[in-house]
């Protein structure tokens, strides 16, 4: 039950973001809250394919947890990646988690911490906490490398975060 409650809270948080086709996004969010994931997917998929980062993130969640779709970590990764490139901090953190745990990709702690740095730079508390655990997973040199990669990513994809 806590996992579902977390999903609902995440859906509602992401629902507050601005973007195109807000009415369709709201219809999908409403359906998801009611656990009508088939309708949510029907509303969100066209938006996600058109580049709506909120819909991309939520579809990633659906695939990660098998809500209304067959659980598929590779598809979750794909949708999180698109949302992360659009600046969705939750997607950036989730990519870090996927790299850290080897879900859909090989474990790569440098890449995981790159994403934690990116999300932490945007102020995401769970990523800030993850960075505190870096000494358990990375050498100092690897940690610096992950921070450099994050800085390059921010410069190329989210220059406003770096300021």
Q: Per-residue pLDDT tens for 8-55?
A: 555 554 554 444 455 688 999 999 999 999 999 999 999 999 999 999
Q: Which pLDDT score is estimated for 11?
A: 53
Q: How far apart are the first and last CA of the chain?
A: 39
On whether the CB atoms of residues 120 and 86 are closer than 8 A, the answer is: no
**What is the residue-wise DSSP string for 10-49?**
HHHHHHTS--S-HHHHHHHHHHHHTT-HHHHHHHHHHHHH
pLDDT band of residue 2 (cuts 50, 70, 90) is low
Query: E-strand spans in the chain?
Result: none
pTM of the entire structure?
0.82
Q: Per-residue pLDDT tens for 101-113?
A: 999 999 999 999 9
pLDDT band of residue 1 (cuts 50, 70, 90) is very low
Sign of the four-CA dihedral 85, 86, 87, 90 = negative
Q: Per-residue pLDDT tens for 114-144?
A: 999 999 999 999 999 999 999 999 999 999 9
Using CA atoms, how far apart are residues 158 and 77, in angstroms rounded to an integer?
20
Tokens (6 digits) for 112:
């995981």
Q: Which residue has the tokens 């960075």?
A: 131
Residue bearing the bigger pLDDT, 160 or 85 = 85
Q: Is the pLDDT of residue 6 over 50?
A: yes
SS3 content of the chain, % helix, strand, coil (to 5): 75, 0, 25
Residue 109: DSSP 8-state: H
Q: Per-residue pLDDT tens for 57-85?
A: 999 999 999 999 999 999 999 999 999 99
Pick from 106, 103, 37, 21: nearest CA to 70 = 37
């Amino acid at each position: 039950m806590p996992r579902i409650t977390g999903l609902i809270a995440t859906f509602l948080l992401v629902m507050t973001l601005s973007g195109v086709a807000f009415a369709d996004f709201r219809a999908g969010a409403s359906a998801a809250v009611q656990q009508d994931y088939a309708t949510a997917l029907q509303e969100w998929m066209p938006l996600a394919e058109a580049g709506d980062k909120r819909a991309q993130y939520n579809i990633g969640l659906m695939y990660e947890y098998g809500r209304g779709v067959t659980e598929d970590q590779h598809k979750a990764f794909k949708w999180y990646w698109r949302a992360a490139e659009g600046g969705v901090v939750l997607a950036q953190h989730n990519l870090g988690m996927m790299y850290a745990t080897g879900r859909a990709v090989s474990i790569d702690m440098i890449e995981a911490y790159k994403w934690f740095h990116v999300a932490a730079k945007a102020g995401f508390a769970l990523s800030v906490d993850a960075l505190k655990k870096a000494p358990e997973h990375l050498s100092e040199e690897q940690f610096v490398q992950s921070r450099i990669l994050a800085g390059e990513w921010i410069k190329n994809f989210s220059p406003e975060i770096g300021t």
